[in-house]
Structure 1
Amino acid sequence: MTETILKENADAPAGFFESEAAGLRWLAEAETDGGARIARVVSVDVGRIELERIREAAPTPGAARGFGVALARTHAAGADAFGAAPDGWNGPGFIGKRPQAYAREQRWGGFYARTRVLPFLGIAVEAGNLTADERRTVEDACALIAGGAFDDADPPARIHGDLWAGNVLFSPDGVVLIDPAAHGGHRETDLAMLALFGAPFLEEMLAGYASEHPLHDGWRERVPVHQLHPLAVHAAGHGRGYGVQLARAARATLALA
């Protein structure tokens, strides 16, 4: 019998757990083509979600490399547009507990700047975690991104969207992903999030990924571009240090122009 875990919050925003379930199921569709393993949704209802419990194990280089290959295959499953919601989901989106809009755009840069970075800046300033000067620097970086400086020919990827190390669980059977903010995005965004908070055996993950899908030249230099989103989210509610990091990433983005 499968062990499960129940998450409940009667005060959760409308659609909160349903959005999580939709993202998990959408990502799991790629498993048939060798995509990353996703925690199973057992049931979902207003204010609650029941998931497969993942038995954790110590991280290993082999599991990390295998996950890199699988993540590339999940990304390859694609999405209808940049910012697209999981197929069949018409409700709200979230990252952590914060609302986050979906979109349907043909260019990555415009979508990313407008719906993944800029919406969190005012909140971060109001919280005292980002100065007015730093905000202008981030806005300048967003203008560069929205102008297409980092767009490429890649189609929208099916990304996890909140792929920090805490959502990457090593099990006896390999890596399993939980808690997505899934949408149509850029491959490099998930990889940059893995790097931001230090995933175990990150270089093995990246090597596995590159063996399945080689990345465009200069992707390491573009990591700060793709970290603007999670840093903006964290600056909105997790302290001044994230505002400092956000401004630093914005300056690094501008330096690539």
Structure 2
Amino acid sequence: MAERAALEALVGAAIARSLPLQGGDLSRVLRLDLEDGRRMVAKSGPRVATEARMLRAIARAGVPTPAVMAEGGGWLLLEHLDEAPASAPGWGALGLALLRLHRATGETYGWDEDHGFGPAKIPNAACADWPSFWAERRLLAWPEALPADIALRAETLAARLDGLIPRHPPAALLHGDLWAGNVLFTQQGAALIDPACYYGDAEVDLAMLDLFGSPDPVFRAAYGTPAPGWPERRAVYQLWPALVHLRLFGGGYRGLVERCLETLGA
């Protein structure tokens, strides 16, 4: 009852019913049906204020994302969007939306605050060049939390990133965790949800989208084709989310990490 009262105070209306929604492994998400006929999504967690700022940054870039309605007391209230099945037009809309997101650029690589996936910290302090950022803030973010042999191989790879990824790519606004589950297809197109934003190489988002499946070819036609050398850079960028999954969910993801490392000769 205390939770319901807190949510009603934040919403500013009585809740007729609340239903759990799938919120991934690291957060709790509810659909709120209000007595005045409105519908919202409530998400709880220790980093909802950070997520609210990221969603607003995505919206300022002109990219579809649920509007932030309110935030406080460990809850984030979001606009409810009606989901539709994935379709070729939806994937095309995602390609155009992501292209628009990446055209919003910053002055440095990183973000003005750190973030995290559960206990896996995401350090975001700025670095002068992109290989340094990817090495220090991603691949070497928490070597003590990885198996010793994997940590050593990641360290070896980090030492030679300067020859594998661009030194000064445009600092594009990234979603930061762009797998298909963080895309909400609607009748109007596609919206981005659950961001982990920072500024960096736009190919980071493309690599993540390829990690657990392949987008519809219409997506690539709308977004454009990566520059030559993409397969090697993709493996560099996929290694980070693979390491995150290894840390959070255990040895079942070791094979994914090793495949990335082997692709890169590490």
Using the alignment, how far apart are the partners of 1:136 and 1:98 within structure 2? Answer: 18
Structure 1, unpaired ranges of 5+: 86-90, 126-131
Deviation at 1:217, TM superposition (A): 1.2
**TM-aligned CA distance change 1:186 to 1:221, over 3 Å:** same
Using the alignment, how far apart are the partners of 1:198 and 1:54 within structure 2? Answer: 24
Deviation at 1:254, TM superposition (A): 3.3
**TM-aligned CA distance change 1:101 to 1:178, over 3 Å:** same
Give the letter aligned to residue 247 of structure 1. E
Using the alignment, how far apart are the partners of 1:2 and 1:148 within structure 2? Answer: 53
| Structure 1 position 134 matched with structure 2 position 164 | no
Match of 1:20 in 2: 51
Task: Report if the CA contact (8 A) 1:121-1:236 is conserved.
Answer: no
**TM-aligned CA distance change 1:51 to 1:97, over 3 Å:** farther
Match of 2:9 in 1: none
Q: Where does structure 1 differ by over 3 angstroms across 4 or more consecutive aligned residues?
A: 95-98
Specify the SS of the correspondent of 2:158. Answer: helix
Give the letter aligned to residue 83 of structure 1. G
Specify the SS of the correspondent of 1:221. Answer: helix
Deviations 1:148-168 (Å, cap 9, x if unpaired)?
531154211100001111101
Match of 2:235 in 1: 224
Task: Report if the CA contact (8 A) 2:179-2:209 is conserved.
Answer: yes
Using the alignment, how far apart are the partners of 2:151 and 2:126 within structure 1? Answer: 26
Task: Report if the CA contact (8 A) 1:235-1:243 is conserved.
Answer: yes
Task: Report if the CA contact (8 A) 1:95-1:162 is conserved.
Answer: no
Specify the SS of the correspondent of 1:196. Answer: coil
Using structure 1 for the length normalisation, give the TM-score.
Answer: 0.83
| Structure 1 position 162 matched with structure 2 position 177 | yes
Match of 1:61 in 2: 88
Larger-gyration structure (1/2): 2
Match of 2:210 in 1: 195
Stretch deviating more after TM superposition (64-73 or 94-103): 94-103
Higher relative contact order by CA 8 Å / sep ≥ 6: 1 or 2? Answer: 1
Match of 2:220 in 1: 206
| Structure 1 position 118 matched with structure 2 position 129 | no
| Structure 1 position 39 matched with structure 2 position 77 | no
**TM-aligned CA distance change 1:22 to 1:150, over 3 Å:** same
How many residues get paired? 230
Give 2:244's match in structure 1, choosing from 208, 233, 257. Answer: 233
Give the letter aligned to residue 188 of structure 1. E
| Structure 1 position 247 matched with structure 2 position 258 | yes
Structure 2, unpaired ranges of 5+: 1-36
